[in-house]
Amino acid sequence: MEGVFYMAAAVAVISTALVIVQMNVVHALLYLILSLLSAAVIFVTLGAPFVAALEVIIYAGAIMILFVFVIMMLNLGTQSAGMERQWMRAGMWAGPAVLALLLLADVIYMLAVSPRVSGYAAKAAGPREVGIALFGPYLIGVELASVLLLAGLVGSFHLGRSVRQRLPEEGEAGGGEGD
């Protein structure tokens, strides 16, 4: 189990360091997804499988999809086509692929020794305990989180709507930049 943890930790540190030195946003996103996946593997070794599933579904799924949507909506101009050709070399995906293969080996090893893993995580708090704690003593936190999510929803809706409303005015005033 220690080996699984240390390998996942190494993958997390390497991919996180590579996120902040990338020049291309999409390459950085690949490494960021890898960093979140390795964090999920670490959570499993720390006896939190429920949170690991949430990490994969919400962080590496939903939030990263938001990033990809925004990068697509930004559509950084026509010069990006030439840069894209320059970036899409065969070696570009080698780094994330190697790190992801390390993580996959980690997970396969954990599945192979799964009786020991479940014994290891016997002390850990499963989804049942988390749910009881979440809707027992932390109920006020759940309510506050729901208010926060509502505020985020209203805020992002307002910002997105003001973009759409301002665009025709900009088109009339500025002679149309052609978005």
CB under 8 Å to 4, separation ≥6 — which residues? Answer: 41, 45, 106, 109, 110
CA distance 60 to 34: 8
Q: How far is the CB of 94 from other proteins (least distance, A)?
A: 21
| Binding flags for other proteins, 139-158, as an x/- string (CB under 8 A) | --x---x--xx-xxx-xx--
- SS3 of 47, please? coil
CA angle 53, 57, 58 (to 5 degrees): 115
Binding of other proteins at residue 47 (CB under 8 A)?
yes
Distance (Å, whole) CA 148 – CA 58: 16
Expressed in angstroms, the distance from the first to the final Cα of the chain is 53
Which of 7, 36, 37, 41 is close enough to bind other proteins by CB under 8 A?
36
- Least CB distance from residue 90 to other proteins, whole Å? 25
Which residues contribute to the site for other proteins (CB under 8 A)? 1-2, 5-6, 9, 12-13, 16-17, 19-20, 25, 28-29, 32, 35-36, 39, 42-43, 45-48, 50-51, 54-55, 58-59, 62-63, 66-67, 69-71, 73-74, 120, 123-125, 129-130, 132-134, 138, 141, 145, 148-149, 151-153, 155-156, 159-160, 162-163, 166-167, 179
